[in-house]
Chain A
Amino acid sequence: MELKNVKIKGIANEDFNDNEYLEDYIKQIEASGVNLVFGKLDELINWGRSNSLWPLIYATSCCGIEFMATAAAHNDFSRFGYEVTRNSPRQADMMIVCGTLVHKMAPLIKRVYDQMAEPKYVVVMGACAISGGPFINSYHVVPGIDTIIPVDVYVPGCPPRPESLLYGLMQLQRKVKLEKFLGNKQR
């Protein structure tokens, strides 16, 4: 498998930047060996999964509004299968964290993340969620969500434009398309 063979609807392969992470990921998978039959089955399943990623919105502040703008008319991310935003963690495939995380909220995000069913992904949106952003020096702000839960995609900006969020979500689709759950011999 090569990265350039991973096709994402609506964006050409050359338009993606920062591919090192995914290339390393492919090497890792190939090093452990892929079963031909199950590998193909994986591709079929991943095709379905990557085009119907249902997000759980964890919107705490400003970025949540840009998330809504991405979901609504004009940008409309349902074109890529993100249509069904879930409010229950048990029905969601991925969590989009939009906004600052503070001390009082830290136990709750961990709990919501734990309640999600595997396989699960986390997209963080905005400078606050990535690192604390403009509030990093505050007494009550957690400096980055990755100190609490693992993160798959970082979307920078304050707040990121809907286009940035869509790009981040497509990067996640690529990651999902590469995964091998059945075909990977080590599993």
Chain B
Amino acid sequence: MEKIKKLILDTVKDAVIEEKQILTVTVSWDKLHLLAKTLKDNAELPFDFLVMLTGVDRGETLGVNYLISSSTDISVEVILKTDAADRENPLIYTVTDLYETAHLNEREAFALLGIRFINNPDMRRFFLNSDWTGFPLRKDYDPNPELNPVSIESKEIIDITPRIMEVDGKLVEDTANIFEADDYIINIGPQHPSTHGVMHFRTALDGEIIKKIDVHSGYIHRGIEKLSENLTYPQILHFTDRLDYLSANINRHGLCMCVEKAGEIEVPERAQYIRVIMDELQRISSHLLAWAAMTNDLGATTAFIYGMREREHILEIFDKTCGGRLIINQNVIGGVMFDIYNEFQQDVKAFIPYMREKLKEYDRFFSHNVIALGRMIGIGNMTKEETISYAVTGPAGRASGWSCDIRKHQPYSIYGQVDFKEVIRTEGDSYARYLNRLDEIEESLHIIEQLIDNIPAGEICAKTKAIIKLPVGEFYQRIETAKGEFGVFIESRGEKQPWRLKFRSPSMALVSIMPLICKDEKLSDFIGIGGSMDYVIPDIDR
């Protein structure tokens, strides 16, 4: 870390370095790009993984926090902070030339906070309609519904983007076309069963070959981050379940851990065990649904029914524990809400051999099917470099040879004590992603097996104050969900509500790489690739 600090000070002399939970570096807005570039090009420990890009309204100014990490060791973290000089016309240099994942994140910051990024080739609003009045995440946003009434009139989609470029040291505002004039464009989505939610892909075709994809999102943008700013911490918890609802419990675990870390709340060991067992069950159910949906996308409807059938067994265990099936409301700050029921261990132990049996069955009837193989092997290839630049984590990232499992690299809860293998493949195609998921189910079963008989007795929830106030500061927490790395950022000003809450969505990275890996593939394979990526749209839109 000393070397990194020296490197930062050599690059930008007036950088302010603070030793907090994570090394935090504050620089002026015109120096940020230089610093990020130096850190990325650092040969010894390249900071080439942009984990989170968070726009923040700091009151006086508008700023951006970048949480960067290294692909070689994702437990190393540095936060870069910068503020725009002018609140009326906030400008910051883009980092899209360094990190591809910044494209959608910067567009999100523009839509929600009005920060414009110089040299970003596409500065349309993400999530919101282009005629939206105001920037919702600013503290002075006017929520009057008359300013933004609900309209049922269909609008023409305009494929022209405004942008602000630096040419010979001067800032020039101009526009650019997304598509060429004679492109043949079809809309896939927003309401299409194989987009796994309400995603809108504007696709330019050359015959049946995909030329270019333009991603539109926001068809399920519920403004969770803004809503959270007016709610207390325990009240926010249920929103995480409704982000990536397939990893509901894991997301909620992440937010609970972030609050517990900030508030220095000790979680009883019994609760830790219950949390991890539930997380792994949830991961299996998510992978089963992903498997089922992918086979359905490839045309195997029977396989879809099989996957859902096995999933019901897990949902039954959830149902008996807490009464919920999909969204289980199990984690609370300080522990879990419900203790396990008497036959819990028995049920889970019965499920493990059953699931192993079924995994063999899946392997037998689908994983080597000639038609399925033809639609998966060599389709949707992504290299390790692309994966890192687009910040694609989870089974998809590990299918391209990138070791990015947070459970291994930054063990949280009791993951340090259990033995499991990080499933890594290097092919980077749809088939590698498909197999990764099935292998991860096996690893999850292995984790549960180790824990299920050793659940210690004791409390299930720590005593917390009725009103939880976090100390002033910025808190980050990263956690491994079924889709990849989920992140929570809380900026607290000592109140019972957060000043700013941001979730890092693993699905956003998965969607952002779709235009790249679908290029020059057939249109029908687009559906299969989407299935292999397994994104959940409400997680992106928040």
Residues of A within 8 A of B (CB): 57-62, 64-66, 68-69, 72-74, 87, 99-100, 102-108, 110-112, 134-135, 137-142, 147-148, 158-159, 161
Contacts A112-B191, A142-B150 known; A102 to B219 CB distance under 8 Å?
yes
A58 and B148 contact, CB distance less than 8 A = no
Q: Which of A60, A66, A135, A138 is close to B197, meaning CB atoms less than 8 Å apart?
A: A60
Chain B residue contacts of A134, Cβ below 8 A: 238-239, 242
The interface size bin for chain B is 35 or more
Q: Which residues of A contact B326 (CB under 8 A)?
A: 62, 65-66, 69, 159
Residues of A within 8 A of B129 (CB): 103-104
Chain A: minimal CB distance from B275 (Å): 21
Q: Which chain A residues lie closer than 8 Å to B227 at the CB level?
A: 135, 137-138
Q: Are B222 and A110 touching (Cβ within 8 A)?
A: no
For chain B, what secondary structure do more than half of its interface residues adopt (helix, strand, loop), or is it mixed?
A: loop
Question: Is B191 within 8 A of A58, CB to CB?
Answer: yes
A72 to B190, CA, bound (A): 24
A139 touching B198, Cβ below 8 Å: no
Contact: A139 with B242, CB < 8 Å?
A: no
Chain B residues near A65 (CB, 8 Å)?
A: 245-246, 289, 326
Complex interface residues of chain B between 182 and 220 (CB less than 8 A to chain A): 190-193, 197-198, 218-220
Whether the pair A140, B238 counts as a contact (CB closer than 8 A) is no
Residues of B at the A interface (CB closer than 8 Å) are 127-129, 136, 141, 143, 145, 148, 150-155, 190-193, 197-198, 218-224, 226-227, 230, 238-239, 242, 245-246, 289, 292, 304-306, 308-309, 311-312, 315, 325-327, 537-538
CB distance from A112 to the nearest CB of B (A): 6
B150:A106 contact, CB within 8 angstroms: yes
Complex: A110 Cα to B151 Cα, angstroms: 10
The 7 A-B residue pairs with the shortest CB-CB distance in the complex, in nearest-first order: A72-B308, A73-B309, A138-B223, A62-B245, A110-B152, A74-B312, A61-B538
B305 A139 Cβ-Cβ under 8 A = no
Contact of B308 among A58, A73, A99 (CB under 8 A): A73
Could you tell me if B192 and A87 are in contact, using CB atoms closer than 8 angstroms? yes
Given known pairs A105-B190, A138-B226, the reply for A62 and B308 (CB within 8 Å) is no
Q: Say how far A187's CB is from chain B's closest CB, in angstroms.
A: 29
Distance, CA A104 to CA B447, complexed state (A): 42
Which of B152, B239, B312 contacts A107 (CB under 8 A)? B152
Known: A60-B198, A139-B223, A140-B128. A103 touches B191 (CB 8 A): no
- The answer to whether A102 and B315 touch across the interface, beta carbons within 8 angstroms, is no
New A-B pairs, 13, CB < 8 Å, besides A138-B222, A140-B222: A62-B326, A62-B327, A69-B312, A74-B309, A99-B220, A102-B222, A103-B148, A107-B155, A108-B219, A110-B152, A139-B223, A140-B127, A159-B327
Contact of B219 among A104, A111, A112 (CB under 8 A): A104
